[in-house]
Structure 1
Amino acid sequence: MGAPHAQTSVRRLFLALVAAFLLASLGLTPDARAAPSGPASGRSLAVSVPPEPTVVRPGSAAKIPIRVLNPGHSLVTATITAREVRLLDDGVVRVGTGPDPAWQGRVSFTPSIVALPAQGYAEVSVNVDVPATLDSDLHFVGFLVSPVQTSPGQVQVINEIGSFVTLDVPGPRSTRLRAKLRLPGVTLGQEAAGRLQVHNVGRSAVRFWGENDTTAWPGSGTPRQQRFAKSLVPMGRSRSVRVVARPHWWVGFVTLQVRIVYPAATEAATREIALHKRVLVVDPRALVVLGGVLAAAVVMWMRRRRRRRRRLAARARRKGSHRQSPRTRASAPKVGVS
């Protein structure tokens, strides 16, 4: 009675382990299935600004080219107006409802009204009258691109967009960054993922760059490199960057060596921050395999134990059949020879 039930339980356990291993290998989760994307809520305009700051001199005039794009399928007329911008953590930009008092009457746009054809764009010049008392630092000029209602009686949903251009006034400045790696010492997954947080504790806005070199053990000693593009951190703000490191095997140690570089008091010199972190990465598939090995070992031990008990019981029965108790021998009839 016990043996068939035990074999059925072992078979079910084995099938469950095989199914779990296949799911872990294929990475099939409910979230991995493609979800239908809903319709976009209206059309969106886009703005392209220079990737590098525009170097200006106090008391001069600057013209910064920008491009306004219309990815929609119909003509859009838009206006460009000056706006106050607030730069928050992680690159978040808040656009105000009015012009920046620091740039009041000093910013204009040529042209200020543009007709954007379908799938087209328009070139616009941001004209800035730089104050003579502007200190050496990075300064930001914000603007807002707003669509104009051109079809009376029809509702058009076109999102407005705000952006800014960056002005760089050369000269000495007070720059100082602090950085910290935030990721656990042990990670259950296929890679170690965390955040590099960079805080601006100086008195000037800073643009930093850097890299993350990772090595894994056991495995090849050749480091894998993850580069950080230039990122802006305004004064008193912070920025986080995702860092990843992947071992060569299902279980292994990864070492992250992060280097952050940013300008010092002058553009000719730079400062550097070095961070180091070692993480143990355990792939869930390794746990599934280990569980299967342990389960198989337990099943084999139970079978060997059961067979040993059966052999001992059979041996005891054989010995009992050859031996007789004293009472049985006393009651046996005696046969004499005359």
Structure 2
Amino acid sequence: MSLFWRVFLLNAVVLVAATVALLLGPVTVSTPALLTEAVVLAAGLVVLLVANALVLRVGLAPLARLARTMNTIDLLRPGPRLAFAGHGEITALIAAFNDMLDRLEAERAASTGRALSAQEAERRRISQELHDEVGQTLTAVLLELKGLADRAPEPLRGELHEVQETTRNSLDEIRRIARRLRPGVLEELGLTKALRALATEFTGPSLTVRHRIEPDLPPLTHETELVLYRVAQESLTNTARHAHARRAEIHLRRLPVAVELLVRDDGRGIQQTSEGAGIRGMRERTLLVNANLDLRPAPSGGTEVRLTVPVPERNTPA
């Protein structure tokens, strides 16, 4: 039954019931109306309006739920679809809205995949240029400085050694940036050693990063390994820059039908602000592998980032 006929028939039932009650009841209306008659008519009108409001609320409740979902939907956080049953315009509208969400999420994941693939290719190119061009240039400068320092008189030799040390630090920084842009250890040695190297890289005087990685992980695609690595890298970057934490830890474990990455720190926790580009970038990456990303306060303070990536079950031989 269409929405028009449902509302019309429900209102008709209310009006017919009011008319029958007026015709068959003992109450009559005088001319002019008496006070008691006006009170009875006013009470009947209130009852009629309340019944009509309840009927409309029941009939239009699915539209209210649909409007709330439209206002709160986030394509970076896929959620359950609106439930519907039966037939009619509202049911058809909810079904069309659910189909539209499916298409939008699929298109968003596809476009995000293309953008991130282009981003990774650009990172590889920049990393290669930093390593080959800038790195080799700084290495040549170091050799020249060493030769000059060896031939320079004593007052100038100390200054040249300082310049040489600054250049060496710059070369180390360039190499570290190149490694972050292109995780060669991930491509060459796999996810486990890449995460261990990541924990070592972020460990310093002000932050200690521990890792616990289970050995019996299921086979993962290169795309899944890259998503896990980038989420761990972005989480540790946020910890080092913003959390003021002393300790952090990386856990990677196997679940019955998934792989779970957990990055936790003891910093100041999640602030009541909108998500930045880094977190939104992590959410976009999780869409590529149909994963679930959850950010919440850690049990002992700080922040906890939990990424759950579904993996297909391995068929066991009969």
TM surpasses 0.5: no
Normalising to structure 2: TM-score of the pair?
Answer: 0.22
Q: Scaled by the length of structure 1, what TM-score is found?
A: 0.21
Q: More strand per residue: 1 or 2?
A: 1
Structure of larger gyration radius: 1
